[in-house]
Structure formats: C-alpha cells, structure tokens
Amino acid sequence: MSVQSIPAIARKSGASDRDGVVAALAQAFHDDPVFRWASPNDEQRRSILPGFFALAVDVFAKHDQTWCIREGVCGAAVWAPPGVEPITEADGAEFVARCVDLAGSNAARWLELISLLDEHHPRHADHHYLWFLGVRPAWQGRGYGSALLRAVLDDADRTGTPAYLEATSPDNCRLYQRHGFRVTGELTVAGGPSLWAMWREPCSSIRE
C-alpha cells in the first residue's frame, strides 16, 4: 500500500479512548528491543508497561495531539506540537519519579534511557515530536502506523514544520524513513540496544 493510498482512519483520541490507547501501546512495545533491555523479564515488563504508558499518555494529554485508529483503538501515536516543551520541568520530575517506582529493580536502566533521550532532544528549531507510535501486534501490516504518521505529517507539510522522533528498532526506522525521516544519530547506553534519532524536513511539494 503506498503512502498516498492509505485511508484516512486516524482520529484525535478523546478521554474515552485513554485506556484503549494505553493498552495498544503496551502491547505494541512489549517485544520492542529497548523495552526488553530496560525490563528483561517478560512478565515484569508485561505488568510495567500499562502503567508506564498511562503516565506517558496522561503527561502529553494537554497537547491534544494523541491519535488513534477509528476501527477501535488498535493503534495510537503520542505527539507534542511545535513551539512547546513536550514535558515541563515539574511534570518531568514527577514522571521520572513514577517511572522509577514502576521499574523497581531495573530503575537504573530506565533512568539511563530517559536521560539519554532528554540529552539528545533537538532544541534548535520548533518541530512536531513523536514520542510513541504503536499498533497492536494482531493489527500490524495494515497501514495503520502510516495513517497515524500522516495525521500529523500532512499538517507539518502544509505549515512547513519539521518533525523529530527516536526509533527503537530497525523495523520502526524503516517505516519512518519511508515517510521522509532521516537518521541524524545513533543513541546508545552502555550495554543497551541502539535508538535512532530521526529528523524530517517538511515536504515542499505539499506547500506549493
């Protein structure tokens, strides 16, 4: 399926979608290499991720840029718009403290990852920031991830605004590359898997 032929199936999520968004992201990232490293035990990770994504969804709720799939919440994307801090200093401190509580014996690994992403987050230009995008495993391969991207990238192209994300797996990296993102750096913590910082300039042809 080409990018242009993807159906318009993404929509803004509302309060009633919150639990479905959290569940979709928790399922989508259960086998993700970065989360597997952060919490290596499968059962512990399965119990941690819903709480983690509830924190993530709630702290970004004020941006009103969380998107989901119309055919039930089988996938979701959590964005922050340009011109704002994705997480304020106060919200960030609470977020980190609650992540530490969730992570338990793996808290040091979670803190390393959070610090890594914060350290390398670009601050030279306003941009859309994609924090998380995931589709439940049973619903993958149907173009839903692309639809969740286009929901914001089409607007980015119209307004001439860049976008940024961190890809957590080679498969995710390839998806984002198909939508115009390019790798700007490889991010790692000692003993951990790679993440890829990715930047996207707006498509000028959309604005002409």
Cα–chain center distance at 77: 6
**Model confidence, pTM:** 0.92
**CATH code matching the domain that covers 3-207, chosen among 3.40.640.10, 3.40.630.30, 3.40.50.2300, 3.30.70.1150:** 3.40.630.30
Structural domain boundaries in the chain = 3-207
Asked if 87 and 55 touch (Cβ cutoff 8 Å), the reply is no
At 19, list the tokens. 């639990």
The SS3 call for residue 185 is strand
Encode pLDDT of 187-203 as tens digits: 999 999 999 999 999 98
Encode pLDDT of 166-185 as tens digits: 999 999 999 999 999 999 99
Per-residue confidence at 70, pLDDT binned at 50, 70, 90?
confident
Per-residue confidence at 71, pLDDT binned at 50, 70, 90?
confident
* Predicted pLDDT at 2: 42
How far is the C-alpha of 123 from the C-alpha of 148, rounded, in Å? 24
Per-residue confidence at 8, pLDDT binned at 50, 70, 90?
low
Question: 187 to each of 15, 69, 114, 175, how far by Cα in Å?
Answer: 34, 30, 12, 18
Helix runs in the chain, H state only: 18-28, 33-38, 42-60, 89-103, 107-120, 144-159, 170-178, 204-207
**Res. 72: pLDDT tops 80:** no
**Res. 14: pLDDT tops 50:** yes
Nearest residue to 78 (alpha-carbon basis) of 63, 91, 95, 98: 63
* Predicted pLDDT at 207: 45
* Predicted pLDDT at 9: 85
**Res. 60: pLDDT tops 50:** yes
Helices 89-103 and 42-60 pack at an angle, to 10 degrees, of 160
> Mean pLDDT of all residues in the chain?
92
